[in-house]
Structure 1
Amino acid sequence: MRSYFTSTGINLNLGRVPIGGCDFSVRGYTYDDHENDTQLTKFNLTWEDYNLKMPLIKWARNLRNQNLKLKAAAWSPPIRMKTNYEFTGSSLLLDQYYQAWAHYHIKFLDAYKENGLEFWAISTGNEPATGIINIPGINSLGWTPQRQRKWIVENLFPSLHASQHSNVKLLLLDDQRLFVPFVLDELMQDESMQKYVDGFAVHWYYDQISPARILNNTHEKYPSKFIISTEASIVTVGPNVNRVRLGDWSNGEEYMANIIEDFTHWVTGWYDWNLALNQEGGPNWVENYVDASVIVNAKNDEFYKQPLFYAIGHFSKFIPEDSVRINIVPNNENGIETVPFTTTYNATAIILFNKGDHNTTISIADPDHGYITLSIPERSFNTLVYW
């Protein structure tokens, strides 16, 4: 926790909280699994909230001595509300539960606020495409753009606006940027969405087949809305493979390259998925194991900070909230990927990633400071800060 949330660590300021259960829970559950409770009168937080989620969030907040930007999302509603009556698999929300599902979100925000925790943002649901194309093993709720737009306009936003949480940001999509040109544009066809939605949340899976110019196009179409990346993890598929690869530098390089790419294409923040997992890549109640920035060996009472952790740390530690990304004219022939910022403490901070297999000498030309010459080691992450 100190490694993540203090200034002697990487000073992380973002946190992602599932509304109820997700695949990385130890069981399938929601906050109201009572069969006939159509009015959510038996809605309650669970053991996981009181003993795991909320204590850790408060601990992180105390370590930082300030609030975190908490973002919440639901994976699945109670199964009685779904067409397939399962936590996972292809499903839609039954029409008679549209308002109840919106009210469920408000009751979650109410319950956390009663326990001293408030959220910066909620999304309209984690990866709705998962419940349409039936990606197995992930808690989900499928939405077509038309059905989700109706639910947001007629149920979710009016409920949020009428509640004590009207200042909470509303994020659309919360899915792969691959779907942005098809799903997001369809959702935004309703003019009222322009005033209801604050930003767009994207995930990084399949980025290799969805070019970053999608983000540029999105910014140009909707310049008043921010874009934020809300999930990334290293997923290794195939039989008999190690999902957790301790010390795998190529994993860290994937994160570093993706964060730089996002931040140079109008993305304003970047959430990792799991802060810590065990040596198997769980727990995960549907065995959807992945790698993580911190791996815990509970038997030996020790943990391992992965290259992923250090890739994130170059940004969270040196680029504080409200820093402004500035333009740079790179030399794309030297193998250095870079993104610069003006920080809130009036410094210039430049992230430099040498993805090549050789040391590289570069010069940075700043009209206010002249030239800075640096030798950047092969396959390395670097941050330059100057005033």
Structure 2
Amino acid sequence: MNNKFCDVNIKLIMLLVLLAIGNITHAQKVDLVYTTSSARWVKGKKAVRLTKDKLAKADITVFADSTLQVIDGIGGAFNELGWTAVKELSDEAANEVFDALFSKEGCNFSMGRVPIGASDYALSYYSMDDVPEDFEMRDFNIDRDRFIMIPYLKEAFKRRPDFKLWGSPWTPPAWMKVNEHYSLRAGEMGEGRTGGNKMDPGKEIRTSSTAFKMQKRYLEAYALYFSKFVKAYKEAGTPVFMIQPQNEILYAPNWPACTWFTEDMSYFIGDFLGPKFEADSLDTEIWLGTINSPDPRYVQYALKHKSAKKYIKGVGFQWNGERSIPTISKEFPTIKLMQTENKCGEQENDWTSLERSWKSMVHYFNNGAGSYLYWNMILDETGKSSWGWPQNSMVVIDSESKKVTYNDEFYLFKHLSHFVQPGDHYLKSSAGENHLAFKLQNGSTILLVYNREDKAKTVNIKVGDIAITADLEAVSINTILLN
């Protein structure tokens, strides 16, 4: 009798163990979403599955416990021409666009960039204080932004109050510059483009100089300019968590711009901007950027500068700056890094644009970037800047027909940002140019996989001790979510 009782107990225990194992297996869930040039954001649960064969050779291996840099945010840039494009729509249609970009159901963007004054996608030249020699900033104001940029920004904050906004100027007020002009180069854009400016060629400044007036009163006034901008934007309900003092710091185009030698920018940050933020008790961070130089010595000098280094919390890179980020990430492993502006193209707005952005994403995340931003999120059907350059955008709004088109790059970013949020981590994975992996705060793992081949293929993936098989469509971007 006792032996039978023991046998029953053993069988019962074994059954419970088997049930528990079954429940664990059942609890593991893997989903896939894919996009091709003709089929966008398609959920293909049957295309991805857990496999029992954990010894199968993996095409991609994700080291699930090897977390790398924290993610600070994914998003894009706000500009005046984006706002004027979306204002062509009805309120209902405009809200659909804003939901697509900022809501949890859409791209779920967590970070954005705003120009401080005019950019090449402003309606015209302007700054926050265009009164010459107003060193006390008596006439500083954000009145123009209250009617254009701030309503645009508030659409993001409305959908997520924790939205992270940062700002950078393309140019200081013209009276603070050596040539006393918003731009640095005269003439048209070239290559058949229209626009440009009427600057006297004698006022041109090329990249081999600092275009800012490096006198104490101008440096103090410019530090005050940034401080007043941060305070004014906070009061307007669009707080700025970080500023980068100059867009494309070594570029001299014929639209708003200002070049700075690294010695001069470091001096400005270390002896004027940083101390001013400190004196005004601002918690807004100062980053170095945006860096467009392929030579890492620009950043190296600033991060070692005796007074600037304590104020610089991160570095932002764009365009040719991508060539210097590998060196900086190795030499300064604790500094935060960002991709500030993806390459804008020539209004192709097609799959080639997605491929270029994908390649850039892989490069930046593999070299320590914790945030990645698109350039213009929204433009009209011309895509043109006020200075004549037609560029890509995630969303195109036709001013005549009011048709809204979501381009391939919109979906590429959605495949990333819909899932990956601030506080998540980039994950170590096997070498390769066609995948990215992230660990979410809820314990899930996200894997982005690009099938660049013109035929469907099956990929074997290992995430820790879990084996996954995924059937990928030809020329597709895929997000695999392992809960």
Q: TM-score, length-normalised on structure 1?
A: 0.89
Q: Secondary structure at the match of 1:198?
A: strand
Match of 1:386 in 2: 482
Among residues 252, 260, 263, which one is paired with 1:146 in the alignment? 263
Q: Is the contact made by 2:123 and 2:386 (CA closer than 8 Å) also made in structure 1?
A: yes
Match of 1:120 in 2: 241
Structure with more contact order per residue of length (Cα contacts < 8 Å, sep ≥ 6): 2
Following the alignment from structure 1 to structure 2, what is the Cα–Cα distance between the partners of residues 36 and 199? 31
Matches within 5 A, 1:229-268: 229-236=339-346, 244-246=347-349, 248-268=350-370
CA drift at 1:12: 0.7
Identity of aligned residues (%): 24
Among residues 29, 42, 45, which one is paired with 2:139 in the alignment? 42
| C-alpha RMSD of matched pairs (Å) | 1.7
Following the alignment from structure 1 to structure 2, what is the Cα–Cα distance between the partners of residues 229 and 206? 9
Give the letter aligned to residue 326 of structure 1: L
Give the letter aligned to residue 225 of structure 1: I
Following the alignment from structure 1 to structure 2, what is the Cα–Cα distance between the partners of residues 318 and 190? 38
Higher Rg = 2
Q: Is the contact made by 1:137 and 1:288 (CA closer than 8 Å) also made in structure 2?
A: no
Give the letter aligned to residue 146 of structure 1: E
CA drift at 1:120: 1.3
Give a deviation string over 1:162-198, Cα, whole Å, max 9, x none. 1242x2121103122514x121112223133332110
Among residues 143, 146, 151, which one is paired with 1:55 in the alignment? 151
Q: Is the contact made by 1:233 and 1:290 (CA closer than 8 Å) also made in structure 2?
A: no
Establish whether residue 71 from structure 1 lines up as the match of residue 166 from structure 2. Answer: yes
Matches within 5 A, 1:73-222: 73-89=168-184, 90=205, 92-96=211-215, 97-130=218-251, 134=252, 136-165=253-282, 167-176=283-292, 178-179=294-295, 181-205=296-320, 207=322, 210=323, 214-222=324-332
Following the alignment from structure 2 to structure 1, what is the Cα–Cα distance between the partners of residues 332 and 308? 11
Q: Secondary structure at the match of 1:361?
A: strand
Match of 2:444 in 1: 347
Q: Secondary structure at the match of 1:353?
A: strand
Match of 1:239 in 2: none
Following the alignment from structure 2 to structure 1, what is the Cα–Cα distance between the partners of residues 254 and 403? 29
CA drift at 1:290: 1.2
Establish whether residue 285 from structure 1 lines up as the match of residue 402 from structure 2. Answer: no
Give a deviation string over 1:105-163, Cα, whole Å, max 9, x none. 01111111121221111012111101xxx3x2231111011111111111010011112
Runs of 5+ consecutive residues of structure 2 not aligned to the other structure: 1-97, 185-204
Match of 2:81 in 1: none
Runs of 5+ consecutive residues of structure 1 not aligned to the other structure: 237-243
The number of residue pairs the alignment matches comes to 360
Give a deviation string over 1:36-56, Cα, whole Å, max 9, x none. 423211111132x11221112
Q: Secondary structure at the match of 1:285?
A: coil
CA drift at 1:233: 3.5
Q: TM-score, length-normalised on structure 2?
A: 0.72
Give a deviation string over 1:228-262, Cα, whole Å, max 9, x none. 111123233xxxxxxx234x111111112211221
Q: Secondary structure at the match of 2:430?
A: coil
Following the alignment from structure 1 to structure 2, what is the Cα–Cα distance between the partners of residues 338 and 313? 15
